[in-house]
Amino acid sequence: MTDTNHEHALNQPFQTLDEAVKSGRFVRMRRLLASLHPAETAHLLESLPPTERKVCWPIINPDLRGDVLSFVGDDVRTDLIQHMDTADLVSATEDLDADDVADILQDLPNHVMHEVLRAMDSQHRRRVETVLAYNEDSAGGLMNTDVVTVRADITLEVVLRYLRMLNDFPSNTDSLYVVDHNDHYLGTLPLSQVVSRSRSLTVNEVMSHQIKAINANVSDSDVALRFEKHDLISAPVVDGANRLLGRITIDDVVDVIRDDAEHSMLSMAGLGEDEDTFAPVGKSIHRRSLWLGVNLLTAFLAAWVIGLFDTTIEKQVALAILMPIVASMGGVAGSQTLTLVIRSMALGQLNDKNQRWLLRKEVLVGASNGFIWAIAIALVTILWFNSLALGILIGVAIIINLTAAALAGVAIPILLKKFGSDPALSGGVLLTTVTDVVGFMAFLGFATLYIV
């Protein structure tokens, strides 16, 4: 399917629903929403302004609302569950996996969350509370506690009879987990082995020890890396004593990968990955104003540096014309390095042993590019303003700024991560400040010393 056809297929339900909402055809809306997969319904809700979203939500089949809530972003989910009472929430979440229920409950006020938990049956509540005990960005917060376990000393014949008794088992089950009598994880029993090997063999004889268990406190990003490296469909999660707690499946890992990608992109603009595109004006103003304020402070710092050389600029107007070139070249070079370093951090490639090597390499690249483009910019400047001194001046400033940009592009994310801050969120602002200040200081400083 081409991109155009795919886009048309996605837009058609939205256009139909939008027309039905505006015309008040509730029967048509109900039929359309009932015909869609919960993920498609979630996408439609996220594509609607808040007013139309509130009209559609009550029309959705109550049996499907839990699945829809598990697919929408945090902002939209929070908006939707504000209009649901405890009984509706319990009904919507009773058939969901424990990890999906935990995601929904974490968006509720504490007193409402405890009220919903108390209304659940005891078994479902224990499963959800197990997940809630861990950080939502950890393996424990990502896992599903619904697993199928077997003992190592039984035969495959017994395993097959056990599976028939279950009648149904969790989705994305590619393996059963082998545990001892104290629920300590021992290994996996692939379903392919269960159906293909002799039924007289014991689990111990055919089980696999290749899939290592994931500690519940491991970050979800590390979980995603492990799934990627080992091509996993599911993986067991254990506590510090190696007791099996649950499992993580590939569908949850796909969500982590998508969220991390959105986080890296949106954080550079000071936005969250679950930002509601159609959030009310007041909420959007509040969230974005803080980031604009931070940027304003850094802009004032750069302006203050320029102000130090106002006399120099008055005497040589060409400096004001050329200043943006110095800042822009440094900003682009620094952003290239910063993006590369943040990506290597996300992939787990950067560590204490290779940081210095990467720093030396990027500084060398920055200085080399600075030298190459300094020559080109200097020649253009000499021809433009008929001034050899001005050409040499901007060339030197370009070399200094691109070298500083490379140094900052590596150092800033490393330092931010060391102090517990998110490099993707604040790295870009700090980098821009460094390249602007260093570029203006070098360019205008040398101009004051040698030209004016």
**In whole angstroms, what is the distance from residue 427 CA to residue 411 CA?**
10
Instruction: Please state the domain count of the chain.
Output: 3
Instruction: Give, as one character, the DSSP assignment of residue 59.
Output: G
The answer on 291 and 233 residing in a single domain is no
The answer on 23 and 69 residing in a single domain is yes
The answer on 188 and 70 residing in a single domain is no
**In whole angstroms, what is the distance from residue 428 CA to residue 69 CA?**
33
3-state SS assignment for residue 147? coil
Residue 49 belongs to a domain = yes
Average pLDDT over residues 70-75: 83
pLDDT at 43: 84
Least confident of 248-257, 266-275, 357-366, 384-393: 266-275
The answer on 392 and 300 residing in a single domain is yes
Q: Kindly report the three-state secondary structure assignment for every residue of 68-82.
A: HHHHCCHHHHHHHHC
pLDDT at 187: 95
Per residue in 439-448, pLDDT (tens digit) is: 999 999 999 9
Strands 175-179 and 185-190: antiparallel
The answer on 310 and 443 residing in a single domain is yes
Average pLDDT over residues 235-263: 88
Please report, for the domain that includes residue 171, its CATH number.
3.10.580.10
Q: Which among 126, 86, 136, 79 has a CA at the least distance from the CA of 106? A: 136
Single out the residue in 113, 137, 161 at which a domain terminates: 137
Q: Which among 104, 205, 105, 220 has a CA at the least distance from the CA of 156? A: 205
pTM to 2 decimal places = 0.67
Residue 120 belongs to a domain = yes
Average pLDDT over residues 122-130: 86
The answer on 176 and 250 residing in a single domain is yes
Single out the residue in 80, 107, 137 at which a domain terminates: 137
Cβ-contact 138, 219 below 8 angstroms: yes
Residue 8 has pLDDT above 50, yes or no: no
What is the gyration radius of the CA atoms in the chain, in angstroms?
A: 29
The answer on 26 and 153 residing in a single domain is no
Residue 273 belongs to a domain = no
Task: Dig out the tokens for 322 from the structure.
Answer: 């050329």
Domain span holding position 132: 3-137
pLDDT at 9: 47
The answer on 415 and 296 residing in a single domain is yes
Which regions of 208-293 does DSSP assign to beta strands (E)? Answer: 214-215, 234-238, 244-249
- 225 against 51, higher pLDDT: 225
Residue 272 belongs to a domain = no
Residue 276 belongs to a domain = no
pLDDT at 1: 47
Please report, for the domain that includes residue 102, its CATH number.
1.25.60.10
What is the share, in percent, of the chain residues with pLDDT greater than 70? Answer: 88
Other C-beta atoms within 10 Å of 68: how many? 26
- 338 against 95, higher pLDDT: 338
Q: Which among 434, 374, 380, 432 has a CA at the least distance from the CA of 399? A: 374
One-letter amino acid identity for 194? V
pLDDT at 272: 58
Per residue in 178-213, pLDDT (tens digit) is: 999 999 999 999 999 999 999 999 999 999 999 999
Average pLDDT over residues 7-18: 58
Cβ-contact 188, 176 below 8 angstroms: yes
What is the share, in percent, of the chain residues with pLDDT greater than 90? Answer: 42
One-letter amino acid identity for 172? N
Q: Which among 187, 203, 202 has a CA at the least distance from the CA of 244? A: 187
The answer on 325 and 286 residing in a single domain is yes
Single out the residue in 137, 162, 190 at which a domain terminates: 137
3-state SS assignment for residue 319? helix
Please list, in sequence order, all residues whose beta carbon lies within 8 angstroms of the beta carbon of residue 127, skipping any fewer than 6 positions away.
Answer: 98, 145, 146
Helix (H) or strand (E) holding 179: strand 175-179
Residue 275 belongs to a domain = no
Q: Kindly report the three-state secondary structure assignment for every residue of 390-441.
A: HHHHHHHHHHHHHHHHHHHHHHHHHHHHHCCCCHHHHHHHHHHHHHHHHHHH
> Residue 78 CA to chain centroid, in angstroms?
19
Residue 175 belongs to a domain = yes
The answer on 412 and 287 residing in a single domain is yes
Residue 28 belongs to a domain = yes
Q: Which among 111, 79, 87, 116 has a CA at the least distance from the CA of 101? A: 116
Could you tell me how many helices (H) and strands (E) the chain has, helices first? 22, 6
- 264 against 89, higher pLDDT: 89
Task: Dig out the tokens for 426 from the structure.
Answer: 């604040």
Long-range contacts of 369-378 (CB under 8 A, 24+ apart): 369/333, 369/402, 370/333, 370/398, 370/399, 370/400, 370/401, 370/402, 370/403, 371/399, 373/329, 373/398, 373/402, 374/398, 374/399, 377/325, 377/329
The answer on 244 and 156 residing in a single domain is yes
pLDDT at 7: 47
Q: How far is CA 187 from CA 249, 284, 352, in A?
A: 16, 49, 33
The answer on 302 and 261 residing in a single domain is no
Backbone φ, ψ for residue 48 (5° rounding): -105, 145
Please list, in sequence order, all residues whose beta carbon lies within 8 angstroms of the beta carbon of residue 194, skipping any fewer than 6 positions away.
Answer: 156, 159, 160, 163, 176
